[in-house]
Structure 1
Amino acid sequence: MNPAAISSPSKDLSERRTIRPIGAAALAGIAFSGDKLIALDTIKGHLLQIDPKSENTTILNTHQVADFINASGLCLWQDTLWCTQEDTVYFCQMGDYTLKSFVTLPYRANGVAVWESTVYITCQKAGYILIYDRHTRRQITRFYAPGVGIENIAVRGEEIWICDSIEQTVYCLDRATGAIIFSVLTPFEHPTALAFDNNPQKQTLYVAYAGEEAYIRDNPNADPSYELTYRDRTFIHPLDYYYNPQGRYALSNGYLIEMSYVEELAPLEEVDLEQVEWRIALPSTSDRQKVRSIEPIGLPFTEEELNGQKVAVFKFDTLKPGERHLFGWKALIEVRSIKYRLTPKDVEKIPELAPELQRYLIDDDELAMDNPIVSRAARSAIGTETNILRKMYSIRNYVYDQLSYGIKPHIDTPDIVLDRGIGSCGEYVGVLLALSRLNNIACRTIGRYKCPPYPEQKNIPLQPDFNHVWLEFYIPSLGWLPMESNPDDVGENGPYPSRFFMGLAWYHVEIGKGISFETFTSKGEKLEDISIGDLAINHIRFTILEELAEF
């Protein structure tokens, strides 16, 4: 199966809504029956019928609730309902809800889907999609599971669709071979189930999510009365997708956001400077990001281009003691999640790195590439691997094995970080850059800030807690591919998810690829004894304006 392009139908935003069924704690399976959603609450054991338009919710299995506790993986084929519980796959008739065993596995079954005479079962422990004949109850074959987390499954025509809770990803597979056609990142964490509606014109893909959220509770019996606690959070949201096989990437749900970056001149010690030029990188344009407009805040700026990146330049004839300013920019940006799809076979025969890109192989930012600790790590990371994609993946996994995440007030060089075993996102990037460049893989930094990932909080000013950086690596003839620094380092010694290996979520804002985010000079010279942090306080604000309707 090699489609020219695949996309979800264009959406009318007036018809789109996030479905939040009343009383639900954790949805672990969804399916459509006519125009109604059937959802399984794994904590309460409720089998819910939901009107997607009004959210009117009815419990169907009023006398069999206990039988469905801890069940998951809902599927409806004709009048038969399927689900999993522990290591067993069950089925029952709609309206009866008396569970009957279909097959028992050696490990826990997670998801189930039925298409005609074939039953598809996901099993995280086995690492496979197990395929059974519905009539004989015998296993026909199996496919490798695409992710590392708990997976749920749906089948549509010649496609298998999988959602993975840890990978934060939905995969589209060829039903005949199990090969991944494309994958997309979901706009929210912890996807637990998925289903296509029965409208032949729309075929909207809905994804359920389940987890916990922190909130501030007013407890009148405590002093102080406000306390941090957690509550269940589960809902269903339409997933948009667009696959571009020529570009080797897939896009998913997008948002229009307003971002402002402003410096408040407030020096720790008063300064007297002349001919000051203060440069701040501007948002970039990429396959997943489109800049609609940029305007100055406080003071005007001129725009320059540096290595293909746009930079705002603020000029001051003088900065005198006691002088105060606000200056920066505000941008209107379309952002989407992106996931590139490449295999090692795709990069077996690639040309040499172009001369103009050789600068991304050198130590240009205190990477300690000549230090024995770093050079030894670079050799250990790849072993005997020669394929550029496998090398990059091996380097990432090696760094995740060696480091644990921790916030620090300043960034140390990769030799110190490797010896310490703990690093911030910037230090992860430094180590990744050093090991990659020593292995002849061109890399550059990117990032600076992520929008707080709360797309339901529209038209509310949001402030990120920290700045953030990640990187891009270059494959000749294919281009630059993104890779997160540390967010996929979620476990001890793996397996690590690959959601942000060649992928970025919608909340990443790309600014200043391969260049310094912010610099200032006086009389054309950098001042070694004064840093930007000594001179100004930055203010970063995001506002999510709307969810985008079309690609």
Structure 2
Amino acid sequence: MSFALPSMTVSQMFGQRTIRPLTAAALGGIAFIQDRLIAIDTIKGHLLEIDPISDNSKILNPHQVKEFTDVTGIAVWEDTLWVTRGNTVYRCQMNALGLEHFVTLPYPAEGIAVWESTVYISCQKLGYILIYESDGRKEITRFYAPGVGQENLTVSQDTLWVSDRTEQTVYSMDRATGEIQFSVLTPFDSPTGIAVHKDSETGKESLYVAYASEEPYIRDNPNADPNHELTYRDRTFIHPLYYHYEPEKRYALSNGYLIEMSYAEEIAPLEEVYLTDLEWRIALPSETERQKVKQVEPIGLPFTEEVIDGQRIAVFKFDTLTPGERHIFGWKATLEVRGIKYRITPKDVEDIPPVTPEFASRYLVDDDELAMETSIVRRAARDAVGSETNLLRKMYSIRNYVYDELSYGIKPYIDTPDVVLERGVGSCGEYVGVLLALCRLNGIPCRTVGRYKCPPNGELQGIPLQPDFNHVWLEFYIPNFGWLPMESNPDDIGNAGPYPTRFFMGLCWYHIEIGKGVSFETISSQGVRLTKEDIPLGDLAINHIRFTILKELPPF
């Protein structure tokens, strides 16, 4: 069965719609046969034909479900269907679906793509994408797998597209050489399948990605007391992937959202205070390659603006703050935020100029209780890089060293890097402190950035969302290239490596950049900045943070 399509093209009909087949548990590989969308449900063994408008689907293999159970990758070339199941690759005719053995690998084969007589097969445990000749069934060559997770494949003309489940990334590779051209972050986690659709009228190609994972939800169980309980359910869908590559700037942008963010302080001191000539500064969202500030307006009270090191700061002024006095004040910003991923290699930074004295005086010093003079931190800085001299390899080595030495844990306060290294457990802010100290001791300028992440639920549009925690990460500086982002702890997945690099020189759409290299929030009285030893901000006011995802941004 095929679905009758109206006069619009499939790409026009899809639009920005998320496709959610009603009965699917875990979609794996996906493919297009002209305008027909085909997908495999890995758990149920259903080979589905899906209507992208209504989510209606039909099982194409009603008599071969057992044979297709645990299939992870599919590809179609002409009238032949290719699938991966376990260690084996099979092929069959689309109108018969009787699986014929093609090749067996020593380890599981996850993804597959076919172009004419060339077959591409991904194998996570081997760490390679294997290339076979379809008629002779012989391996022609192999490419290094670009990521560390299970990968699925599709191919279009000269490009091999690779989606990596752990990396949350799609790679564009030269299908003849295996060279990575660029990569983009997917807007959702756990991408499990990828396909290219070519518009029959315009010839334009579009990428679609399948996702599969579990999500927690609160279940109403009338047999329990209390009757609400936490449990998990399958989460699987298909969504278009948009990208825009800037080769000269070495980055690619991907899907994004229009987001409204509010940050407000509510004066509610633990102990009443009397302050005169009070100035309360709160950093405003930054304007970056991936983040555009469309509008900023005050909440509660008006503010003036200052610019410090290129960063916009909202300044709220009070003649006096007296015991019993209460206020709400802050800002609301409307932002366009997209994913960004830079593509810079160690070879690119071999002949960079040295760091200028100005940068050294600002970004190579201990200006934030980094304990850079302590023996444990200095020893860690030496051990992290060894004899490496390439700046980018040093950054990789420092990040991996910190991930090896630390595990993630939430704390109500931030200890200095020497204490954190001794303890072996750190929050995101403590990861950042250790990374800053080790980078600066190795001559790499770096700075802190944050301060919040929008809850990463792009489908929950128009609903107020509150983040559970604040969050910080860092940026490091490469002469001739500029500031590059690096997450603090989310890529430390705790398996002793290899660690994903999805957020090494990359940020997803839900990262909100506020206050690069400057304090997010400070207070001063009579011109003197107050420290946490004077009055901790948390003892003086309660902050309220709200995000509302307004809509997904259109394609580029």
- Whether the TM-score (by the shorter chain) exceeds 0.5 is yes
Given the alignment of the two structures, is residue 389 of structure 1 paired with residue 375 of structure 2, yes or no?
no
Question: 1:58-207 maps to which residues of 2 (within 5 A)?
Answer: 58-200=58-200, 201=202, 202-207=204-209
Question: Paired residue for 1:495, among 483, 494, 498?
Answer: 498
Partners of 1:484 and 1:241 in 2: CA distance: 21
Q: Is the 8 A contact 1:401 1:492 kept in 2?
A: no
In the TM superposition, residue 12 of structure 1 has moved relative to its aligned partner by 6.2
Partners of 1:35 and 1:487 in 2: CA distance: 38
Partners of 2:174 and 2:495 in 1: CA distance: 32
Given the alignment of the two structures, is residue 539 of structure 1 paired with residue 544 of structure 2, yes or no?
yes
Which deviates more, 329-338 or 194-203?
Answer: 194-203
Which deviates more, 121-130 or 524-533?
Answer: 524-533
Given the alignment of the two structures, is residue 449 of structure 1 paired with residue 452 of structure 2, yes or no?
yes
In the TM superposition, residue 14 of structure 1 has moved relative to its aligned partner by 7.8
In the TM superposition, residue 51 of structure 1 has moved relative to its aligned partner by 1.3
Partners of 1:150 and 1:80 in 2: CA distance: 24
Q: Is the 8 A contact 2:129 2:144 kept in 1?
A: yes
Partners of 2:65 and 2:215 in 1: CA distance: 26
Aligned residues: 542
Question: Paired residue for 1:378, among 377, 381, 403?
Answer: 381
In the TM superposition, residue 388 of structure 1 has moved relative to its aligned partner by 0.2
In the TM superposition, residue 16 of structure 1 has moved relative to its aligned partner by 2.6
Q: 1:333 maps to which residue?
A: 335
Partners of 2:56 and 2:465 in 1: CA distance: 32
Q: CA RMSD in A?
A: 1.1
Partners of 1:170 and 1:64 in 2: CA distance: 31
Q: Alignment partner of 2:205: what SS?
A: coil
Which residue identity lines up with residue 172 of structure 2 in the other structure? C
In the TM superposition, residue 52 of structure 1 has moved relative to its aligned partner by 1.1
Q: 2:364 maps to which residue?
A: 361
Q: 2:554 maps to which residue?
A: 549
In the TM superposition, residue 492 of structure 1 has moved relative to its aligned partner by 2.6
Q: 1:219 maps to which residue?
A: 221
Which deviates more, 527-536 or 328-337?
Answer: 527-536
Q: 1:6 maps to which residue?
A: none
Which residue identity lines up with residue 536 of structure 1 in the other structure? A
Q: 1:467 maps to which residue?
A: 470
Q: Is the 8 A contact 1:193 1:209 kept in 2?
A: yes
In the TM superposition, residue 24 of structure 1 has moved relative to its aligned partner by 0.3
CA distance 1:370–1:453, shift in 2 (3 Å): same
Partners of 2:422 and 2:287 in 1: CA distance: 37
Structure 2 gap segments, 5+ residues each: 1-8
In the TM superposition, residue 182 of structure 1 has moved relative to its aligned partner by 0.2
Which residue identity lines up with residue 281 of structure 1 in the other structure? A
Residue-by-residue CA offset, 1:210-267 (whole Å, 9 max, x unaligned): 0000011111110111100001110000000011011100000010000000000011
Q: Is the 8 A contact 1:35 1:51 kept in 2?
A: no
Partners of 2:210 and 2:552 in 1: CA distance: 18
In the TM superposition, residue 406 of structure 1 has moved relative to its aligned partner by 0.3
Q: Is the 8 A contact 1:462 1:543 kept in 2?
A: yes
Q: 2:5 maps to which residue?
A: none
Normalising to structure 1: TM-score of the pair? 0.97
Partners of 1:274 and 1:12 in 2: CA distance: 60
Partners of 2:105 and 2:495 in 1: CA distance: 27
Normalising to structure 2: TM-score of the pair? 0.96
Partners of 1:186 and 1:150 in 2: CA distance: 15
Partners of 2:185 and 2:115 in 1: CA distance: 25
Partners of 1:245 and 1:323 in 2: CA distance: 55
Question: 1:260-339 maps to which residues of 2 (within 5 A)?
Answer: 260-339=262-341
Which residue identity lines up with residue 181 of structure 2 in the other structure? I
In the TM superposition, residue 356 of structure 1 has moved relative to its aligned partner by 2.4
Which residue identity lines up with residue 212 of structure 2 in the other structure? A
Q: 2:237 maps to which residue?
A: 235
